[in-house]
Structure 1
Amino acid sequence: MTDEIIDVWMQQPNQRFMAQPWLESLLRWTGMERTAPPLPATLGAMDEAGVRVGLVSAWHGPNGVLISNDEVAGLVAGHPDRFAGVATVDLTDPVGAVREIRRCVRDLGFVGVRVVPWLWNLPPNDRRYYPAYVACVEEDVPFCTQIGHTGPLCPSEPGRPIPYLDEVLLDFPQLVVIGGHVGYPWLPEVLSLARKYPNFHIDTSAYAVHRLPPELVEYMRGRGRTRVLFGSNYPMVTPAQCLKRLDDLGLGAEARELFLGGNARRVFSLPV
């Protein structure tokens, strides 16, 4: 594959992350072990699919840090040509969250912020997110979130796009938001937000591309070609598994290039 590929949803888990009880359903579906993949395996999975750059996220939940921002920073520092960092924050510490976003962007060079609503069981219009949104706008980085149902055995309702994300996009017209994991079973709501708000984007993480909903593929082929980004959700799904039947999408040359890397490079302001 000769296309430049940027994977916008990855994580390099540690054993603390892999020990979480909510991973049980994902481990059952994927056949993964509760063992963190070594870094060479991650790089090998990227190389297998031709992924040039992976956006690797930290994780923080109500019970504390799972993958710290500093762990991600160390990974990026060791392989700056292969990884870019996505920060996370503690929603219960709004002032600390703002300071942490500033530190991660200004000092560590992170390119985005991610908070997963199902992990907190808080929809994105909850007041505890709002300081982080302001910091993202001020630091000019996207806010990444999860939309749709959850693979982990946690409530899916926080991932419903309307009314929760709709209200955020109304309140913060300058905030760039990327909704990961496609948004099933609420695809009409997802696509309505994408048509309504120019700063809302979708990433295809957790889906093999041949399993993407037909209405999303149609959107990618046409007016939505600048609004959909490739993501894998590695290590739960590898980039190669996601892209195995890429040609089945029937994307034109421009739409394919934008989906695989061009949109991510623009939205996350990645260096050329």
Structure 2
Amino acid sequence: MNMDEIVAIDIHTHAEEPCDTCRDDGYNEFQAGMARYFKNPAGVEGMLPTIEQTAEYYRERKIAAVIFPVDAERETGFRRYHNEEVAQIAAANDDILIPFASIDPHKGKMGVREVRRLVRDFGIKGFKFHPTFQGFYPNDRMAYGMYEAIQDEGAIALFHTGQTGVGSGMRGGMGMRLKYSNPMYLDDVAVDFPDLKIIAAHPSFPWQEEALSVAMHKPNVYIDLSGWSPKYFPKILVQYANSMLRKKMLFGSDWPAITPDRWLSDFDKAEFKEDVKPLILKENARRLLEM
């Protein structure tokens, strides 16, 4: 990856289409609900991009993309991707894709072994956790073995925070409980694993000030700005991004739910300082990823 040619790093993109399976487990209905929430016609029509198509989209725009699946088999019944396959496709497109993985923390010691193997053998740079989707509090000691392994291996832990498009508008919210994604639970994780690089994903509605507080107080906690158009960002989020947290904010789109084209267009019109924009778009992520 030629970082001099890369214009931005999208820290939050999803590998949505299965690499090697036909979805017959309810996943298509779930994605249709997500697409309605985000007004994304591709999801409604069952035309979500493959990882290879994602790579081509980002390559055309000279934007690097951190890409990951989400393992929520236990909570949802949806089969997960093979993390190894995502890593292999990312490796074939390593001029533009940066591979993260996902392991449900309920997998315990098996998950710990998988963390170490994926980092050492497949070049995985980080791990995506979705507390609402996976049904756990981030500070649950059940997950601590995985955090320790991620910290030991020098990888990143990225956590969904705040209200989610997952299950929004669906009956009973598809069983998803928002309480798990309060960013204040990451404060315990940051204390207990002070050398673990942590990203709190998304504007953390309705807990935005909690997320800002944790990122202000804990040196190892960053915030990515994915999942919302910047035109809807809370004023206080923009205020802190322009000042005390200018070096801890990261560009993320939430592809394919939100495209970089849409996000970047709205970002350019939002009230971010000109000298802050390059930090958010590329430099902060480059430093965190050590690229």
Amino acid at match of 1:157: K
When residues 3 and 108 of structure 1 are mapped into structure 2, their CA distance, relative to the original with a 3 A threshold, is closer
**What code does the residue aligned with 2:57 have?**
A
Task: After superposition, give the CA deviation of every residue in 1:237-264 in whole Å (9 maximum; x if it has no partner).
Answer: 1111111122223433431111001111
Structure 2 contact 26–78 (Cα < 8 Å) conserved: no
Aligned to 1:238: 259
The equivalent of 2:231 in structure 1 is: 210
Deviations 1:6-54 (A, max 9, x none): 0111122224498254434312122323333144542353256x34210
Q: Report matched runs for 1:53-68 at 5 Å.
A: 53-61=64-72, 62=74, 63=77, 65-68=79-82
TM-score by length of 1: 0.90
Give yes or no for contact 1:91–1:97 (8 Å, CA) kept in 2: yes
Contact 2:17 2:50 survives alignment (8 Å): no
Residues 135 and 65 of structure 1, relative CA distance in 2, 3 Å threshold: farther
* Partner SS, residue 195 of structure 2: coil
**Equivalent-residue separation in structure 1 for 2:199 and 2:26 (angstroms):** 25
User: Which aligned runs of 4 or more in structure 1 are off by greater than 4 angstroms?
Assistant: none
Matched, 1:118 2:132: yes
Give the count of matched residue pairs: 267
* Letter of the structure 2 residue corresponding to residue 160 of structure 1: N
| Match in the other structure for 2:12 | 9
Residue number among 190, 200, 203 corresponding to 1:179 in the alignment: 200
* CA–CA distance in structure 2, aligned partners of residues 101 and 90 of structure 1: 11
CA contact 2:161–2:200 (8 Å) conserved in 1: yes
**2:63 aligns to what?**
52
Q: What is the DSSP-based 3-state SS (H/G/I as helix, E as strand, rest coil) of the residue aligned with 2:122?
A: coil
One-letter amino acid matched to 2:65? G
Matches within 5 A, 1:6-155: 6-15=9-18, 16=23, 19=27, 21-29=29-37, 30=39, 31=41, 32=43, 33-39=45-51, 41-47=53-59, 50-61=61-72, 62=74, 63=77, 65-153=79-167, 154-155=176-177
Q: 1:18/1:241 Cα in 2 relative to 1: closer, same or farther (>3 Å)?
A: farther
Instruction: Provide the C-alpha distance between the structure 2 equivalents of 1:51 and 1:258, rounded to a whole number of angstroms.
Output: 17
Please give the alpha-carbon distance, in whole angstroms, between the structure 2 residues aligned to 1:131 and 1:20: 33
Residue pair 1:59, 1:65 contacting (<8 A) in 2 also: no
For the Cα contact (< 8 Å) 2:6–2:63, is it kept in 1?
no
Identity over the aligned pairs, expressed in percent?
30
CA contact (8 A) 2:247 2:279 kept: yes
Corresponding residue of 2:172: none
Inter-partner Cα distance in structure 2 for 1:40 and 1:88:
19
Shift of 1:65: 4.2
Aligned letter for 1:218? Q
RMSD (Å) for aligned C-alpha atoms? 2.1
3-state SS of 2:105 partner: coil
